[in-house]
Structure 1
Amino acid sequence: MSAISDRKAREELERESRHVDEDSLESLLARQKKVEEKVQSSGRLNRFSTDIRLMFSLLRDFWNGRYRQVPWKTIAAIAGALLYVLNPLDLIPDMILGFGLLDDAGVVALCLKLVESDLHRYAAWKELHAETAGK
């Protein structure tokens, strides 16, 4: 059984995603290191560390105009999930030892499920772009 239901994770993700705009996206990109530190220090979130780095890479390439082949709803969902991770007073407050990051992991997992195909396309584009940049 998951820590929070898919329905509750979806509600939280949708709530956070609704508030994403250019200012919050810029602020989130500036706090990338803080999110990555939180992920690395948490067993519950650490398994998502590679995915979260890819999510930040997509957001940064979108922000800088290098990659725009992604719908805004994907950008908003990714940013919403990462902003949720940053919020210490979310559904289950982070200071509750052993349980505080279960909801964060549930929201990130749901987000990954929802944007999986867009992330795969971006990863392929990024790999191709890296290969052609090296030539």
Structure 2
Amino acid sequence: MALFSQKNAEDQLKSEADNVHSADLEKLLDRQRAIEDKVKNSGKLKRFSADIHLMFSMIRDYWYGNYRSVPWKTIAAVAGALLYVLNPLDVIPDIILGFGFLDDAGVVAFCLKMVESDLHRYAAWKEQEEDHRPSTQSN
């Protein structure tokens, strides 16, 4: 039997996402550094660093009203996954060496699978926005 299955990840993500409210996004953005540091220092989560950075970027653009072409369900799922990562006392406590981040990685992986198309659309939008941003350099 698996220590943490895809079904467990799905259940945990649904539970977290169902409890996310708009006001939670600002709190989550305030904790970005803590979550990214945790991911960077974890073997199991490290491979998701770029994805998690993009997830935070999407939440930030949603929060500030720059990007609203995404369903609330996607924002709630992403926020729920990131809040799950932040919680050190989740299904498998983070202090358990070798296993503590398995559930976090499972929840993030399931979230990415669930919101993949919305995240790709956001990344394309973000790239286009950056391409059209006026240059601050003078010739």
Q: TM-score, normalised by structure 1?
A: 0.97
Q: Deviations over 1:81-129 (max 9, x none)?
A: 0000000010000010110000000000000000000000000000000
The answer for unaligned runs of 5 or more in structure 2 is: none
Distance 1:96 1:13, change over 3 A: same
Match of 2:96 in 1: 96
Aligned-partner SS, 1:44: coil
Could you say which residue in structure 2 is the equivalent of 1:37?
37
Distance 2:53 2:99 in 1: 23
1:23 Cα shift?
1.9
Matched, 1:14 2:14: yes
Over 3 Å counting, the alpha-carbon distance change for 1:3 and 1:51 in structure 2 is farther
Structure 1 residues 1-135: aligned runs within 5 Å? 3-134=3-134
Paired AA for residue 88 in structure 1? P
CA distance in 1 between counterparts of 2:53 and 2:6 reads: 23
Identical pairs, percent:
63
Alignment size in residue pairs? 135
- Distance in 2 between residues matched to 1:103 and 1:69, nearest whole Å: 30
From the CA coordinates, give the structure whose radius of gyration is larger. 2
Q: Which runs of 5+ in 1 are unaligned?
A: none
Give CA-to-partner distance per residue, 1:65-94, whole Å, 9 cap, x none. Answer: 000000000000000000000000100000
Q: CA deviation at 1:134?
A: 3.3
Alpha carbons 1:3, 1:106 under 8 Å: kept: no
SS of residue paired to 1:33: helix
Q: Cα RMSD over matched residues?
A: 1.2
Distance 2:37 2:134 in 1: 30
Give the Cα separation in 2 of the matches to 1:95 and 1:72: 32
Conservation of the 8 A alpha-carbon contact between 1:62 and 1:68: yes
Divergent runs of 4+, >2 A: none
Inter-partner Cα distance in structure 1 for 2:106 and 2:100: 11
Q: Supply the distance in 2 between the matched residues of 1:127 and 1:114 (Cα, whole angstroms).
A: 22
